[in-house]
């Protein structure tokens, strides 16, 4: 290949593809079902799980972020939570309404002593203050609550996906949502925006295919 042909080819920018994130969003009814499952459980695990699910949905926390939270990261007075994200980046979340109430109930059970915000709980309902939770423990509790509530299986990240999608649907600014989710770029946040898909669906309905279903014998 001649030098000038090579330079011309090298100057062509590569085409970057995009993929639809795997997973699904949870419906409001499914979120409510998970919370009811926790409310019916009057053990310490019920209060803890309600607080964790609330944080993951209303705050968009990853399960790794949940287990690294310390009591000092949360302000009971203001509802402010400092989240330690990827790459040692920190962001803040504010708990309100049901998420705030769930955290308040958990802290009544847990107490306000320093240490991990969430602890493991044994089968007897005893809080093990020497044993912080693991990512697998968060996965297991979500699976347990889903089964109890009759909710289709979902991944921990699906709660985060629902957090982003529901905020955008409610009219929150995408740049604000990106900051709340800890995304380095709004392009990442936009991948979870389902509004363009609804627009596509409405646009498709503008065209009419003149086809009549066959009569079944």
Q: Is 24 helix (H, G, I), strand (E, B) or coil?
A: coil
Catalytic residue among 36, 144, 157, 194, which?
A: 157
Per the CB < 8 A criterion, the answer to whether 174 and 190 are in contact is: yes
Catalytic residue among 48, 91, 110, 160, which?
A: 160
Is 62 one of the catalytic residues? yes
Sorted by sequence, the CB contacts under 8 Å of residue 94 that are 6+ apart come out as: 78, 79, 80, 81
Is 86 one of the catalytic residues? yes
CA 37-41-46 angle, 5° bins: 85
Catalytic residue among 40, 42, 80, 86, which?
A: 86
Is 183 one of the catalytic residues? yes
Sorted by sequence, the CB contacts under 8 Å of residue 39 that are 6+ apart come out as: 46, 50
Is 192 one of the catalytic residues? yes
Sorted by sequence, the CB contacts under 8 Å of residue 148 that are 6+ apart come out as: 37
Q: Distance (Å, rounded) from C-alpha 24 to C-alpha 33? A: 16
Structure tokens at 34: 């998970």
Is 80 one of the catalytic residues? no
Q: Distance (Å, rounded) from C-alpha 47 to C-alpha 51? A: 6
Catalytic residue among 62, 63, 145, 161, which?
A: 62
Is 16 one of the catalytic residues? no
Catalytic residue among 63, 110, 145, 183, which?
A: 183
User: Which residues are the active-site residues?
Assistant: 62, 86, 157, 160, 183, 192
């Amino acid at each position: 290949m001649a030098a000038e042909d090579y330079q011309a080819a090298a100057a062509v920018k590569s085409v970057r593809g995009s993929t639809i994130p795997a997973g699904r969003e949870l419906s409001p009814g499914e979120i409510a079902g998970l919370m009811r499952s926790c409310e019916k459980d009057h053990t310490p695990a019920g209060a803890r799980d309600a607080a964790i699910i609330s944080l993951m949905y209303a705050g968009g926390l990853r399960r790794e972020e949940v287990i690294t939270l310390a009591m000092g990261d949360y302000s009971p007075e203001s509802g402010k939570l400092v989240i330690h994200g990827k790459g040692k980046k920190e962001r803040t979340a504010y708990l309100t309404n049901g998420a705030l109430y769930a955290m308040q109930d958990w802290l009544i059970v847990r107490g306000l002593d320093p240490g991990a915000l969430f602890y493991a709980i044994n089968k007897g309902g005893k809080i093990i203050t020497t044993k912080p939770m693991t990512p697998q423990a968060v996965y297991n509790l979500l699976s347990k609550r889903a089964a109890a509530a009759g909710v289709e299986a979902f991944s921990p990240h699906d709660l985060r996906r629902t957090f982003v999608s529901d905020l955008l649907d409610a009219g929150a600014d995408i740049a604000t949502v990106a900051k709340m989710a800890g995304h380095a770029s709004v392009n990442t946040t936009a991948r979870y925006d389902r509004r363009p898909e609804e627009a596509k669906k409405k646009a498709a309905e503008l065209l009419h295919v003149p086809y009549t279903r066959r009569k079944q014998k």
